[in-house]
Amino acid sequence: MKAESNMKKYAIKNKSGFTLIETLLSLFIFSILSLIIISVIRMNISIAKHHNYTSDFYVFIDNLESNKLNFEVSDVSSNDLELISNHKKYNLSKYKSMLRFTNENNQGYLPMLDNVVSVQFSNYKNKVLIRVIFDNHQVCQAYLLNKGYK
């Protein structure tokens, strides 16, 4: 009888499983990993909010100067640029928070730049200065070669 009770005590002591310390240690490791993942996600979100629009702007300028589209400037005002391509007139102007192309009757549009706060066009010698301010206060400007306008 005594031998049986000693065997039961021995069997209970040798049972394998997680102890309280092992469980607390695994929770601690899990919480550290969670904090690291959350901080990386927040950092990526903050980087995305501070988007650099320089490359978007220069792709836009490259499209305007493209030989394929063959735009010629016909008229420049401070907030509107009139372009001609293949005997068709197009307007480039800001609408809400985008810079867009429309036809001469303002029907249909093609968005060119998003998150635009202000745009300014000005004529300088044989060039058109395009100055764009984006919603993150970034300012981009470039001279557009003025093929048709004098």
pLDDT of residue 150: 46
Picking from 72, 119, 74, the residue whose alpha carbon sits closest to that of residue 93 is 119
Is 73 within 8 Å of 147 (Cβ atoms)? yes
pLDDT of residue 57: 93
Neighbours of 96 (CB within 10 A): 7
DSSP 3-state of 13: helix
Tell me the C-alpha distance between 124 and 145, whole Å.
Answer: 10
**Torsion, Cα of 96, 138, 76, 72 (10° steps):** -100
Tell me the C-alpha distance between 83 and 102, whole Å.
Answer: 10
Tell me the C-alpha distance between 98 and 58, whole Å.
Answer: 16
Domain boundary assignment for the chain: 2-49, 54-145
pLDDT of residue 46: 74
Picking from 87, 97, 99, the residue whose alpha carbon sits closest to that of residue 130 is 99
Q: What is the pLDDT along the chain (150 residues), one digit of tens a residue?
A: 555 565 555 555 656 777 888 889 999 999 999 999 999 988 887 776 667 788 899 999 998 888 888 888 888 888 899 999 888 899 999 999 999 999 888 788 989 999 999 999 998 888 899 999 998 889 999 998 766 554
Is 129 within 8 Å of 141 (Cβ atoms)? yes
pLDDT of residue 10: 56
